[in-house]
Amino acid sequence: MSSGGDGRVVVVTGGTRGIGLGIARELLGRGARVVVCGRTPASVRDAVATLGSGDQVTGLAADVADRASVQALWDHAVGTFGRVDVWINNAGVSTARAPLESADPGEVDTVFAINVHGVINGCSVAVEGMGAQPGGGWIWNMEGLGSGGQIQPGVAVYGASKRAVTYLTEALIKEQKGTDVKIGFLSPGIVVTDLLVGDYAGDPEGFAKARRIFNILGDRVETVTPYLVDGLLKASKSGTRVAWLTTTKAATRFLTAGFKKRDLFAESA
């Protein structure tokens, strides 16, 4: 399989901003046809207008935590382009960093509704739909802090949700073994988005401490997404993990940090 989009139809949940919007843009640049979803019609309209690729891109407001809404997204993609070749479960939210006992119960529910139930819904709808179409398709789930067992204080809820996504993905790979539906992991590493910065809402001191590490290990959306898209488009084996921030890359960043000064947040301002 080549690294080009080849007209493949790709659904990107949470595709109206951040990493999702960056992935959609890169896919379009490689000849794919793209369907994005966001939580509101306005966000979808703005994203489609920003992507500006005429009849190659469409979108629909959808609540990934609601199975019927996700099914409507699939139906919209098939109704527009005839099929879905790739489904990317990218939509995700976090909470402000705080000890677990201080986490707002409503925010906890929202994190798991979107990060876990949303991925379950996306996988379920895509597996059923791809299993019924010639050639099957690919499902990609987005990893994050906690997916690999990383533990940090203040992010217990988000980390637990991402750990759940990794287990879910591993289980789905086994369930779909021998079928035409392939499953993969997307691991973007530390990317400067509103989701990352929002983790430190109300904690400027904590952000000041974390900023140094982010500037060593982090990257901007436009740096990471081309790599992720190239990797997912050329993948051929179920279980593939497309990871931007590898252990070797992280070690190299720390070793050279004294010689390469970076301020990702100033550049994004």
Does the active-site annotation cover 167? no
Stretches in the chain below the pLDDT threshold 50: 1-2, 267-269
The two three-digit tokens of residue 123, written as one number: 């996988």
Domains, the chain, ordered by start:
9-192+221-246 (3.40.50.720)
Reduced to 3 states (helix: H, G, I; strand: E, B; else coil), residue 144 is coil
In 10 A of CB 148, how many CB atoms? 13
Q: What is the pLDDT of residue 153?
A: 82
Question: pLDDT tens for residues 54-80?
Answer: 899 999 999 999 999 999 999 999 999
Catalytic residue among 158, 167, 200, 227: 158
159 CB-near residues (< 8 Å, 6+ apart): 145, 146, 150, 151, 152
Answer whether 187's CB lies under 8 Å from 81's CB: no
